[in-house]
Amino acid sequence: GAVVSQHPSWVICKSGTSVKIECRSLDFQATTMFWYRQFPKQSLMLMATSNEGSKATYEQGVEKDKFLINHASLTLSTLTVTSAHPEDSSFYICSAREPLGSQPYFGPGTRLTVL
Amino acid sequence: RKEVEQDPGPFNVPEGATVAFNCTYSNSASQSFFWYRQDCRKEPKLLMSVYSSGNEDGRFTAQLNRASQYISLLIRDSKLSDSATYLCVVENTGGFKTIFGAGTRLFVKA
C-alpha cells in the first residue's frame, strides 16, 4: 500500500521556539494532505487541509498564524508550530490519499513535547 | 452535535467474546466510511472499509445503514491482540475531508 512518512518522529523543544514537521508521500503524489492533532486519550482532531500550490484550509478554532502549513510540492507538506508553548504538546499526524485511492494513509506521527 | 459519534468505552471483554461497536454520522452527503484501529502511541491503521452491502473480513464484520446514518463493527471470537482503540471514520465529498469519531477503547482479557 501507499506509504506516508513524517519527520521527525519526536521532538522536544523549549517554549517559544518554532518546530517544523514534514509529511511526505513516498510513492504517490498527493494534491491534498491533512494534518491532525491528538491529545492523550482523545481522538484525532482535524486541524487543516493542506492544498498543493495554494493556501491551507483551517478548521474552526485552529490559529492559522500559529500553525503554518506549506504544501510546496506534490509529495511534501510541512506544518510549523510557531512560538510553541507547553499546551501545544501533542501527537501530530498527517494523512494523504492517492488520487484514485480507496482510503487515506497516515504518517507514523510526530510527538511534540514543549518544555 | 459532533459530526461522528461513537459508543463511549471502554469495553472490557473476555477472550472469545463477540463485541459490537456503533457509530453515527451527521452529514448525509458523506461518501466513504471506514473503521481504523489505533494502538497506543501509534498512527491509525485501516481495519476495513464499510459498504452498504456489508462486508466481512475474517472475524470482523462491518455494516452501513445510510438511511439511519449508522455504521457498525462486529468482532467475533475476540483475541488479546484485538485490544486497541477503534475509530469510526467518515469521509465527506469534495476534497475527501476525513473526520474521526472519538474512538472506542477495547480491552480483551484472558
pLDDT digits (tens, 9 = 90+) for A46-81: 999 988 888 899 999 999 999 999 988 889 999 999
The predicted pLDDT at position B26 comes to: 92
Residue A42 gets which letter from DSSP?
Answer: S
Q: Is pLDDT of B78 > 80? A: yes
Q: Which of residues 42-101 of B touch A (CB under 8 A)?
A: 42-46, 49, 87, 91, 95-101
Residue A35's nearest CA partner among A11, A14, A13, A64 is: A64
Residue with more model confidence, A108 or A54: A108
- Work out the average pLDDT over A98-112: 84
> A111: which chain B residues are within 8 Å (Cβ-Cβ)?
41
Query: Within its chain, how far is the Cα of B57 from the centroid?
Result: 13
| CB < 8 Å to B43, chain A | 93, 106-109
Assess whether pLDDT exceeds 80 at residue A101: no
- Does residue B54 have a pLDDT over 70? yes
Contacts of A91 in chain B (CB under 8 A): 41
Mean pLDDT of chain B: 90
* Of the partner residues A34, A102, A111, the one whose CB lies closest to the CB of residue B49: A102
Closest chain A residue to B49 measured between Cα atoms?
A103
pLDDT cut 90: percent of chain A above it: 66
| Cα B47 from Cα B86, distance rounded (Å) | 9
Q: Which of B32, B43, B101 is closest, CB to CB, to A93?
A: B43
| A and B: number of Cβ contacts within 8 A | 43
Neighbours of A6 (CB within 10 A): 19
Measured CA to CA, the distance from residue B37 to residue B40 in angstroms comes to 10
Q: How far apart are CA B22 and CA B74, in angstroms?
A: 9
pLDDT of B93 strictly over 70: no
**Other beta carbons less than 10 A from residue B68's beta carbon:** 8
pLDDT at A104: 82
Contacts B97 to A, Cβ<8 Å: 34, 46, 49
Average pLDDT over chain A, rounded to an integer:
90
Cβ contact, residue pair A34, B97, below 8 Å: yes
pLDDT at B59 over 80: yes
Residue A114: half-sphere exposure toward Cβ, Cα within 13 Å: 16
Does position A5 have pLDDT exceeding 90, yes or no? yes
**Among positive and negative, which fits the CA dihedral B69, A91, B38, A30?**
positive
